[in-house]
Structure 1
Amino acid sequence: MKRPYTVLISEMTVDGKLTLKRGLSSKIIMGLMDDESHRFLHQKRTEFDAIMVGSNTIKIDNSILTNRLVEGKSPVRVIPNSDASIPPGSNVLNSDAPTIIVVSENADKEKVNAIRSRGADIIVCGKDRIDIDGMMERLVDRGISKLMVEGGPTLIWQLISKAMIDHIILIQIPYIIGGDSTPSLVGGPGVDSIEDVVSVELTDFYKVGKHLITEYDLYYNGKNAKD
């Protein structure tokens, strides 16, 4: 299967949390990042053909997903949204950068047309739910060879469960939040057996401003995702 080289880049607290409570925006803890780390994140965006987040992230955060802090292009924005339920006033549907919304065949046609009327490109892939494999192939067909994923936890799990994340870059925010139900980096059902865990290899670490940055390659069943 052809797919883009895919890198997960995310900020998270020392205890791996993405926000204060379930249902709250991740922009809350992003406000704890210093200027250097914000520029680092935006610089990374310029290095990819496209940036992807899940539709729930759009609904909660109303993300813009463009480069606004450094010189360089903004990536194409890709939002998997099987039922076309993102609000038509979402920031990702503005004209700041091209946007692809991926929907299923059974998505409400009026909602699809409302999104399309905002200038977004629509990819239909999968009957009831988005076919992740097919979506990645279609992105390659559209010239996307390097894909950055910023969240959220459900989308990240879907990609990891299909061995589609090649590399991870984590921006550690030096705070602790806690909370049994507070969202962490990876959601979904998780693995059922120790034999199914995904192993990672630390490839680099450095500081940007007051934040520790760590980078990892991923291994699925002992095989590097890039092999």
Structure 2
Amino acid sequence: MHVHVNAAESVDGKLSTREREQVAISGPEDFDRMDALRAEADGVVVGVGTELADDPSLTVTDAERREQREAEGRPPNPARVVADSRARTPTDAEILGDEAVTYVLVSERAVKGDIEALENAGATVIVAGEDRVDLPGAFEQLEAHGLDSLMVEGGGELVFSLFDAGLVDRLTVYVGSTVIGGREAPTLVDGEGFTDPDSFPELSLTGVERMDDGVVLSYDV
């Protein structure tokens, strides 16, 4: 499976304000780039924090890209995936609409009634891990469902867990010309953090492209 993390951050490395309110960091060119990345992927992944804060649809915006996917024998939109250890995703969330298949990754600590509610709302629930989602195990199950490429759109807790598990293959970051600040504002990689320099993920810069009023940095991991 190929896992591609994509994000937009301020020049000081923040994804949103300390209140976790969405901020327009990039512009139309980057939005179109992100839409193209979604169209290439078999699935689009977010953590439950991002789902609860933003209620994203995670669908492809451009009609021609949806048509091209169908011409290739694929569904018009990639599958939506939420890493949600305790099954907190609301049953009226946008990602549970009928535009695409939705997978919710939960742990064994998720309440059975919440799992059943998500399944009744149309989600396919994958249980992996005791206390938190076991991402390698969950991704193996996603692969068994035919998802060979995933685009991850955040948030920082999920991205850290993916790097920590060695699951990230590619990273692209749009860095916008704005400063947000705030020691508690979310960053690209939050979580517990790496303490040993020998454990830092190794990145190889493969491209720098100016876009809107910022730059896109591309890395192989």
Alignment TM-score, normalising by the size of structure 1: 0.88
For the pair 1:14 / 2:7, whether they are aligned, the reply is no
Cross-structure match for 1:208: 211
Distance in 2 between residues matched to 1:32 and 1:6, nearest whole Å: 23
Amino acid at match of 1:134: G
Cross-structure match for 1:130: 133
Give the SS at the match of 2:109. Answer: coil
Cross-structure match for 2:68: none
User: Is there any run of 5+ residues in structure 1 with no aligned partner, and where?
Assistant: 219-227
How far 1:32 sits from its partner (Å)?
4.0
Amino acid at match of 2:192: P
Contact kept? 1:105, 1:126, Cα under 8 Å: yes
Give the SS at the match of 1:64. Answer: coil
Amino acid at match of 2:28: D
Counterparts of residues 104-183 of structure 1 (less than 5 Å): 104-183=107-186
- Size of the alignment, in residue pairs? 211
How far 1:53 sits from its partner (Å)?
0.5
Amino acid at match of 1:20: T
Amino acid at match of 2:6: I
Amino acid at match of 2:3: T
Cross-structure match for 1:52: 45
How far 1:209 sits from its partner (Å)?
2.9
For the pair 1:37 / 2:30, whether they are aligned, the reply is yes
Amino acid at match of 1:88: T
Cross-structure match for 1:24: 20
Q: Alpha-carbon deviations, 1:123-168, whole Å to 9, x = none?
A: 1222332222210111111111111111010010001011111110
Contact kept? 2:8, 2:25, Cα under 8 Å: no
**Would you identify which runs of 4 or more consecutive aligned residues in structure 1 move more than 3 Å?**
none
Distance in 1 between residues matched to 2:162 and 2:121, nearest whole Å: 28
How far 1:202 sits from its partner (Å)?
0.6
Distance in 2 between residues matched to 1:121 and 1:169, nearest whole Å: 29
Amino acid at match of 2:186: P
How far 1:46 sits from its partner (Å)?
0.2
Distance in 2 between residues matched to 1:111 and 1:175, nearest whole Å: 40
Distance in 1 between residues matched to 2:197 and 2:167, nearest whole Å: 20
Q: How much is the aligned-residue C-alpha RMSD, in angstroms?
A: 1.4
Contact kept? 1:203, 1:216, Cα under 8 Å: yes
Contact kept? 2:20, 2:186, Cα under 8 Å: no
Give the SS at the match of 2:132. Answer: coil
Change over 3 Å in CA distance of 1:128–1:180 after alignment to 2: closer
For the pair 1:196 / 2:199, whether they are aligned, the reply is yes
Distance in 2 between residues matched to 1:89 and 1:196, nearest whole Å: 40
Distance in 1 between residues matched to 2:105 and 2:193, nearest whole Å: 24
Give the SS at the match of 1:110. Answer: helix
Give the SS at the match of 2:64. Answer: coil
Amino acid at match of 1:93: L
Cross-structure match for 1:224: none
